[in-house]
Amino acid sequence: MKKLFTLLFVAMTALTSMADTYNGPLHIDIDGKTVDQTTDITIEKQADGNYTLKLMKFKFKLGVTMNVGNIIITDVPAVSNGQTLMLKTKKNIAITGGGMDFLLKSVPIDMIGELRDGDFYTNINISMANQNIKVTFGTAKYQLPNAGFETYHTATVTEPENPDFPDSEPNTASSDEPNYWHSFMSASGNPGLVYLAGATPVAFKCDDVRPGSTGKQSLKLKSFDAILAIANGTITTGRMNTGDYVASNTDANYAWSDMSNTDKDAHGDPFYATLYSLPDAMKVWLKFKQGTANAEHPYATATAIINDGTEFHEPAPSKTTYTNVVGEARNAKIAETGDEWKEFTIPFTYDAFAQYGAKAKSVLVTLSTNADAGQGSDGDLLYVDDLSFVYNAGLKAINLTAENGEVFTVDGVNSETKEYTATVPFDVTANNLKAISDGKGAYVSTTIADGKATFEITSNDLATTNVYTLNFKKGNAQGITSGINGAHAAQAQAAGIYTIDGMRVNAITKPGLYIVKDANGNVKKVLKK
């Protein structure tokens, strides 16, 4: 029996102390002097749910080789957003084994990192001895590469061989394509149509940049008359497919991506963009002018579709509903701006796709001179600069749930006010208090002590942290409003709201019984009186 208990203890210890080792790029910045190398970092989950980070026998070369030693950060709290884990701590640690133990007994570190789908990314800031040391491990996948359209490569399209003239040299055409972005020059599909579409360039390097830009280049997209239809000036992070003369045939003409596809562009990059995060909006600077005004088709378009990395087409083929979509940002009504640059903010929507349960791994971004395929006019111009994803870290709601299930909401909550006061008719605990962020993938941690609840909200890209405080005491309710059988709180957390007969609605407004589904797939009934 004793032996059995010993074996069980060993097995349980092994389970609670499982460790994963991650190999990746390490960037070190010491007061502007940088070092890049590859290293291993081990992440171990402790029995108490916290984590230990280990960077063993660490050294780097900056003029001379620096043997730093073993960097071990213990008791790192983890916060989940439902898909990934954020590790964050600020403390002093001892670095040992490098020969400088006496100097590194108490090193102040400020660390934040993210565990996601087999990847680990972290920033560690160290300030000591009048030096600022920044250590970055892994590759951040929160923004698109070359989203400022500063770097370009030459893309070439070649005319298919003509069997009637086997000895003739096929024609070619070349143009500049932004790195990591693709036009008709690098399209898939019917070789003859690919050449016809790509022979006239639609994407151009441009020195007309948006106001306030730190860059020197932008992208210019230009449509042209392809006789049978207008060939829209289009760029995508995926790959264009040209398969039919009829531009509106979405079964043959589309932008697409598939992370299993091993094809590479002329720059050596894949025809897809990775994105593991959940941005709240896409911002992009645009300048749009039609060559000839077209009242029936007056708009340019910009879309971003987050998906799980499997094959996806934009637009979707006829009679096809993709279940690998996580969220989308879409503006198909970008009107002319004349000669003026304008910043567009396009929010992501996630609720309509929550039912699929897909995880973010890729994003297909496409911009075009017209929202309708083959429409617009000859010479439509769309200038594009400084595209970015926005990640919120604000406070949207503070909810308190009574024992009878009634939900109270703290009055006046918004992302700007940092401190609130409320009198609550029951005891406040971690189990009945919930803060809801306006960031879809934001991390929310809550601590309660001495009549004060502190909410630390970190954006999904780990770049922004806001701290909010709720001062509370027990007594007759003040500063809080009843959620009317949970309707207000359920609405704040809902991924989908449906009437009892199955009709989807945007909000709980009219009296009645509703079915509310949250982002984790949980379903509950809510009565609005």
Structure tokens at 248: 């509106």
Higher-pLDDT residue of 299, 67: 299
Sequence letter at residue 152: Y
Same domain, 216 and 329: yes
DSSP 167: T
Same domain membership, residue 182 and residue 128 = no
Same domain? For 26 and 115 the reply is yes
Question: Mean pLDDT in the chain?
Answer: 89
Domain annotation covers residue 11: no
Same domain, residue pair 257 and 275? yes
| CA–CA distances in Å: residue 518 to residues 136, 171, 335, 353 | 34, 56, 35, 12
Burial class (CB in 10 A: 0-12, 13-18, 19+), 448: middle
**Domains: count for the chain:** 3
Has residue 349 been placed in a domain? yes
Q: What is the pLDDT of residues 308-348, one digit of tens each?
A: 999 999 999 988 999 999 999 999 999 999 999 999 999 99
Q: What is residue 523's predicted lDDT score, i.e. its pLDDT?
A: 67
- Picking from 5-9, 32-36, 59-63, 82-86, which range would have the lowest pLDDT averaged per residue? 5-9
Residue with tokens 């730093």: 68
In a shared domain, residues 180 and 325 = yes
pLDDT at 245: 86
Q: Does residue 492 surpass a pLDDT of 50?
A: yes
Domain of 156 in residue numbering reads as: 152-390
**Same domain for 370 and 355:** yes
**101, pLDDT greater than 90:** no
91 and 133 belong to one structural domain: yes
Rounded Cα–Cα distance for residues 486 and 442 (Å): 23
For residue 324, what is the domain's CATH number?
2.60.120.260
Query: Is residue 299 domain-resident?
Result: yes
Residue 485 in this model has a pLDDT that exceeds 80: no
Does residue 116 surpass a pLDDT of 90?
Answer: no
Domain boundary residue among 137, 165, 180? 137
Whether residue 73 contacts residue 137, with contact meaning beta carbons closer than 8 Å, is answered with no
| pLDDT digits 0-9 by tens, 216-263 | 999 999 999 987 788 999 999 999 999 998 888 989 999 999 999 999
Which DSSP string corresponds to 4-73?
HHHHHHHHHHHHHT-EEEEEEEEEEEETTEEEEEEEEEEEEE-TTS-EEEEEEEEEEEESEEEEEEEEEE
* 459 neighbors 466 (Cβ within 8 angstroms): no
Instruction: Clarify whether residues 382 and 483 are in a common domain.
Output: no
Torsional class of 323: left (φ above 0), alpha (ψ -120 to 50), beta (otherwise)? alpha
Kindly report, residue by residue over 62-90, the tens digit of the pLDDT: 888 888 899 999 999 999 998 899 999 99
Are 383 and 411 members of one domain? no
Residue 358 and residue 248 share a domain: yes
